[in-house]
Structure 1
Amino acid sequence: MHLASAEARRVAPRQRWKVASRARWGLVGVALLYSVCSLALHHRVLGDLSASTVGWASSDSHQFIWWLEWFLHAVSTGANPLYTTYQHYPYGVNGMWNVPVPVLAALMAPVTATAGPVVAFNVAMILGPVASGVAFVAATRRLVPSLVARAVAGGLYAFSPFVVAHASVGHLNLVWAVFPPLLIWFVDSALLRHDPSPYRTGALFGLGLALQTGLYTQTLAVGAVSLVVVALVLALRNPALVRRRLPTLLRSTVSCLVVYFVLCAYPFYLLLAGPSRPLERIRPPDETMADAANLLFPSPLTAVRVDPGGFGERLALHPGEQGGYIGPALLLLVVVALAVGVRREVVRPAALVGAILIVLSFGIHLVVLNEVLLPVMPWRLLLDVPLLGEIEPVRLQIFIAACLALTVAVWVEDLVGRPRTVGWWAAVGLTVLTVVSWVPAPDAVRTVHTPVPAFFTREAAEVLGPGAVVEVTPRATGAWEGGAVALLWQAESGMAYRATGGYFIGSGPGRPLLLAGPVNAYQAGIDALRTGADPGSPTGARRELQQLGVTAIVLVPQDGEPAAARVLDWTRAVSGGSGRPLGGVVLFELAP
């Protein structure tokens, strides 16, 4: 008997190692499958990784490229990766109110250093859905043991309408949708089952929260709202379970908060009280809501679109924010799963949480086909809560997608164990229809080809010299198509200079809110010349640039610029020099 027990103890670790090894190889296989899908989704950029960017809203893509390069520059020079004066000089930009993505910048630093920030951005965009899907598959392992079921659901989640919508506009921080799976893992570990190591679980969750802070703080805030909804749903459905789990949950929470605030004390200071933060509401609350009709009618980014009335063309916002599509097939699947009692302990809470989040995603108004049908919605209660009041409720859609994907995972696993009847085949057909209904359109993710003048890639650092402050024309703006190309040029120069302009969220002297660098007299003169108006005094414009510390003006000629000759003459008058043509630009040195 003693010998048999000893042999069993020797076999058990070996068996666990085999199970863990199979699980790891399963994840590798899933990651490879998702990688193929992501490469197909981003096929347009594959032949031009270094000169094109994913996303038709190039200003956002170029903004991310700038921050990827800034992180590398900051780390290599000892500068602050979360605060910079390389935009909006001399006042600076607070990274925590923008998109510095330091976690991704660190991950992609080898690519940035060897192949450049454009390639790093494109590679990160391709990897985002893969990481999101794999995170979902790993996080739901104990809830749904079947790898096949998790792989199907993880694929739906990774390439959900939300992820595809934000991939189409180059939102790197949102295609890395790893936080909802982390939330599922924490709820499962800390609430749904007995946790023998609550301090460890809490510490890991705190680390995950810190990493999400380094991806995007708004997703963290949206996740906090979602976690509160999950806790309330579980407490109301099973108060006895919550009472039993409360002591270990409190230990996990304490451990989580300690780890999080140790890692994120400085980022939180920048967020709450740091310099150059915005001092008033960033965007009107009625411009950040989901359109309820999007639940049934997809945007043009979805391949299979049954929309004879053209309702999808009338949705509020733009396709990059129309990521809330569920569709009749998936809605029917959820209803059937609830009706037949598939894993009630998982499906019912997931469905209820998803339904509540859908209501919250509508924002302060119920909007249907871009028309306000109900002027007051629950989200209005959060408008005056610090930080939470800045949330765009439409971004709740990724947590809704996670709830739906979890339901699909349980549904598919249940199908595997049922007898092959007529009803079973009908359920399989519904599952296939659900998957097909979320397939992205072949050209859902477009790219923008943006050649960079040779001056920035070859000559800027040497010609401008250390400490250069440059006024770049055209200046960076928030115009979605081509507005932030000046940030791309600066990034490609290796941060060879500081710039007075920029595309950011922040503030400045006498300006509680800025969404781009303020227009100075020199740039106002250019705007006036384009309309045939008087540009004003070149002497006054020169004096203002000098007061800002500008040492050079770099004029990049634009094809089709109707006022090109007048802009060149105006720049000569302001700088007091004739300018030097260098690598596709005209450089004007400005006396201090």
Structure 2
Amino acid sequence: MSVAAPAPQATEDRPAPPPVVPLLRRWRPHLVVAVIALGLALYVTHGLWRQPYTRTLGENVGDQAFFEWVLAYGVHLLRAGGDPFFTTMMNAPLGVNLAANTSITVDAILFAPLTILAGPQVTFATILTLNLAGSAFAWYLFLNRWVTRNRAAAAIGGLFCGFAPGFVSHANGHLNWTSGWIAPLVLWWLLKLTEDGRWLRNGVVLGVILGCGFTIAAEGLFFTALAGGVFVIAWSVPRAHRAQARRALPTMLAGLGVAALVAFALLAYPLYMHFAGPQTFAGTGFNQRHYAEDVAAYFSYSDRTLAAKVGLGNNLAANSTEQTSFFGMPLMILIVAAFVLLWRRADPGRRATLLALAITGGLFMVISYGPRLRILGHETDVPLPYALLQRLPLFDAALPLRFSLVLVGVFGVVLAMLADLLLDRADGPNPAHTPVAAALAFSLLPLFPLPLLTTERAPEPEFISSGHWKQYVPEGGTLTALPFATNVAADAQRWQAYTMARGGRQFRIPDGYFLGPDVGGAGEKGRIGAVPRPTDWLFLRASLYGYVPQLTNWDRATSRADFEYWGIDAVFLPAEITGSHGMLRHTAVELTATELLGAPERVDDVLVWRIRPGVDPIDR
């Protein structure tokens, strides 16, 4: 209000106050979108909900087992204490650096009551479902606040972001990457840093979000920070926003400084553990050239879409969990056409926003191609910018194809803008909008998600659930199922997770599915799982291929040394062994173990071989 405005006459009627809209009425559209998002998420994950204790994700058994273990470890932390970012419960005797893994620590602590009540299997399905629904709803709120006031347009963009092919693909086991709600939350408070007089409050909130986000989805947070920085810089350069950016710069820098201090205070120890702690490693255990996006993948369809159901699938991804772009040809054409249409109708300010979106999307698309150009499954000799980035800190631990997930947010913003234009009736209906609306529907319908595939998994042995295992392992001892836990046979890790969720005395396991250093210890190049020893391969080979070797005295001496290194007290063999694509070969493992360790004991529903000081079964 201007102080130079004339005062009203004393006899003048005061303006009527605006009508009070009931809270439920104001939130009704939001609730509708939330219910739709939750319904879609339950539809996608319903295979897990039918039998959460005996079914697992068919395309990524190992990652589900790892995250169930992390959720159970959260219960163990609350009950017995310990380090949230390092554990010796797995990979005995060396331990695992959880800060360098996707340990979702905040989720594990927050959902610990549910894990205690229903087990990590139900907690896993719950978080996965809420992540998908929450991502769609968070993007809807973000778009409704910062992009369009048309709630229907925001809902279209939000539901696309939450259930885009890349995120449904990552729902095959990745609780970290399905936490797509982190991106709009971070971007929301990044934009709020420009508010005058609130830099301290907004900076503190952003710092807390960054601190929590690091322990839920560190890689996604890194991508979000990069994309947010690129967008803000690209948005600030054009003349239309230059003056506004100059005015907001001091406030934003002050807020960013506060956010950095708060985040550093929260993350000082986990960052130290991540980069310099025990059992840390350099790079990643995955080949970055293999996990790079194919140019043709952007124009193709992923396995879990309606298009794939009618035969339009492909084999351009590294695996079914990494189908990160796969937007389809119609949507790619529509996005380009939408940019042109919106540009022609936009004022200079909106054009600057579109330009920033185009720069951000284009840059991350090129980065996703990895160090060398790949077309239709063939890697060419054409070098790309990622060849210069892949050895830099953080970039060396990222998988290039995942950078394409940034385009989900870019496309979501563009789709919301386009829908806003189509739904705008200020100037009356526009016949030209009809074909554009049809193109929008034609582009999005093939991307409608299909439910995640699930498969049977071995049930928890009574030997574990009854607690009879305690008769074979002392306090702090080591016990394992056969074969030893790996990404392709993770049952031993699952059985330990279920005991941690129940509380009480625990046991350690050798090996496990995690990321750790290669030969040489901390600081070495990363690898998947523990550095293998001969006895690992002995049992894994039997379970995967059914190979039963003729053991020699050298084999027995080597296994004796391996058991001593691990400090194993006993090993056991359940009736079934879950593998990556079905049950593994039980008989071959039993024959190998009997040849090596002698006759087993039958305890409940498992076979047990004692290994303890003074009683060496290899010599029996």
Global fold match (TM > 0.5): yes
Question: Deviations 1:39-92 (Å, cap 9, x if unpaired)?
Answer: 111222222122222352101110100100011111211111221101111110
Secondary structure, counterpart of 1:330 in structure 2: helix
Amino acid at match of 1:365: R
Asked whether the 8 Å contact 2:235–2:355 carries over to 1, the reply is no
CA deviations 1:524-556 (Å, max 9, x no partner) are 444677253435343552344234322222233
Counterpart CA distance in 2 for 1:84 and 1:528 is 28
Match of 2:208 in 1: 207
Matched, 1:430 2:439: yes
Match of 1:471 among 472, 480, 504: 480
Could you say if the C-alpha distance between residues 324 and 514 of structure 1 is closer, same or farther in structure 2, counting changes exceeding 3 Å?
closer
The match for 2:507 is 497
1:391 correspondence with 2:386: no
Give the secondary-structure state (helix, strand or coil) at the position aligned to 2:56: strand
Q: Corresponding residue for 1:375?
A: 382
Inter-CA distance 507–415: structure 2 relative to 1 (3 Å threshold): same
Q: 2:608 aligns with which of 576, 587, 591?
A: 587
Map of 1:303 onto structure 2: 306
Matched, 1:534 2:551: yes
- State the partner residue of 2:192: 189
* Aligned mates of 2:184, 2:455 — CA distance in 1: 29
**What amino acid is the match of 1:567?**
T
Are positions 1:486 and 2:486 aligned together?
no
Q: How is 1:452-471 mapped onto 2 (pairs within 5 angstroms)?
A: 452-460=460-468, 462-463=470-471, 464-471=473-480
Q: Deviations over 1:313-334 (max 9, x none)?
A: 2414123211202223323333
Could you tell me how far 1:212 is from its partner in structure 2?
A: 1.3
Cα separation, 2, equivalents of 1:58 and 1:217: 22
CA contact (8 A) 1:338 1:348 kept: no
Distance 2:416 2:540 in 1: 56
Following superposition, the deviation at residue 374 of structure 1 comes to 5.4
DSSP-derived class of the 2:392 partner: coil
The residue identity in structure 2 corresponding to 1:139 is F
Q: Does the CA contact (< 8 Å) of 2:484 and 2:539 recur in 1?
A: no
Judged with a 3 Å threshold, the aligned counterparts in structure 2 of structure 1 residues 509 and 396 are, in CA distance, closer, same or farther, namely closer
Equivalent residue letter for 1:518: V
Give me the whole-angstrom Cα distance separating, in 1, the residues matched to 2:402 and 2:369.
10
- Cα distance in 2 between the residues matched to 1:456 and 1:32: 39
Q: What secondary structure, in the 3-state scheme, does the structure 2 residue paired with 1:175 have?
A: coil
CA distance in 2, matches of 1:586, 1:322: 40
Q: CA separation in 2, counterparts of 1:540 and 1:402?
A: 53
1:107 equivalent in structure 2: 110
Partner of 2:75: 72
CA contact (8 A) 1:84 1:94 kept: yes
1: CA distance between counterparts of 2:10 and 2:52?
A: 62
CA distance in 2, matches of 1:314, 1:171: 20
Is residue 516 from structure 1 mapped to residue 548 from structure 2 by the alignment?
no
Shift of 1:563: 2.6
Question: Compared with structure 1, are the counterparts of its residues 397 and 5 closer, same or farther at alpha carbon in structure 2 (3 Å cutoff)?
Answer: farther
Quick one: which amino acid aligns to residue 551 of structure 1? D
Residue 21 (structure 1) shift: 5.8
2:166 to 162, 172, 175: 162
Aligned twin of 1:349 = 356
Do the aligned partners of residues 229 and 380 (structure 1) sit closer, same or farther apart at CA in structure 2, a change above 3 Å counting?
Answer: farther
Over 3 Å counting, the alpha-carbon distance change for 1:540 and 1:230 in structure 2 is same
Q: Which residue in 1 is equivalent to 2:579?
A: none
**Equivalent in the alignment of 1:319:** 320
Match of 2:185, SS? helix
Deviation at 1:279, TM superposition (A): 4.2
Identical positions, percent: 23
Contact 2:463 2:469 in 1 (8 A): no
Offset of residue 130 of structure 1: 0.6
118-127 or 378-387: bigger deviation: 378-387
SS of the equivalent of 1:270 reads helix
CA contact (8 A) 2:59 2:320 kept: no
5+ residue gaps, structure 1, are none
Structure 2, unaligned runs of 5 or more: 1-7, 577-583, 614-620
Task: Say whether the 8 Å CA contact 1:157–1:402 is kept in structure 2.
Answer: yes
Decide which moves more: 444-453 or 290-299. 444-453
TM-superposition CA deviations, 1:381-418 (whole Å, max 9, x none): 22222122211121122221011011111211222214
Report deviation, 1:19.
8.0
What value does the CA root-mean-square deviation take over the aligned residues? 2.8
**Cα gap change, 1:525/1:353 in structure 2, threshold over 3 Å: closer, same or farther?**
closer
> Residues 52 and 118 of structure 1 are in contact (CA less than 8 Å); yes or no, is this contact kept in structure 2?
no
Corresponding residue number in structure 2 for 1:563: 588
Once the two structures are TM-superposed, the CA of residue 303 in structure 1 deviates from its matched residue by 0.7
> In structure 1, what is the equivalent of residue 5 of structure 2?
none
Q: Equivalent residue of 2:130, what SS?
A: helix
Query: What is the distance in 2 between the residues matched to 1:2 and 1:108?
Result: 61
Correspondence for 1:148: 152
Q: 1:407-454 deviations in whole A, cap 9, x for unaligned?
A: 11121122221432321222221222233132113x444344332211
SS in 1 for 2:586: coil
Q: Greater helix share, 1 or 2?
A: 1
Q: Would you say how many aligned residue pairs link Structure 1 and Structure 2? A: 575
Which letter maps to 2:364? L
Contact 1:334 1:351 in 2 (8 A): no
Q: Is the 8 A contact 1:31 1:130 kept in 2?
A: yes
1:571–1:115 Cα change, 3 Å? farther
Q: Secondary structure at the match of 1:28?
A: helix
Structure-2 residue corresponding to 1:216? 217
- 36-45 vs 279-288, which moves further: 279-288
**2:516 matches 1:506:** yes
Q: How far has the Cα of 1:557 moved from its partner?
A: 4.5
Asked if the contact 2:93/2:565 (under 8 Å) is kept, the reply is no
Question: Which amino acid counterpart does residue 548 of structure 1 have in structure 2?
Answer: W
Q: Could you tell me how far apart the structure 2 residues matched to 1:56 and 1:3 are? A: 75
Q: TM-score, normalised by structure 1?
A: 0.89
Cα 1:6–1:206 shift into 2, 3 Å = farther
Moved more, 299-308 or 147-156: 299-308
Residues 171-192 of structure 1 show CA distances to partners (whole Å, capped at 9, x for unaligned) of 111111122212431443235x
SS of 1:313's partner is: coil
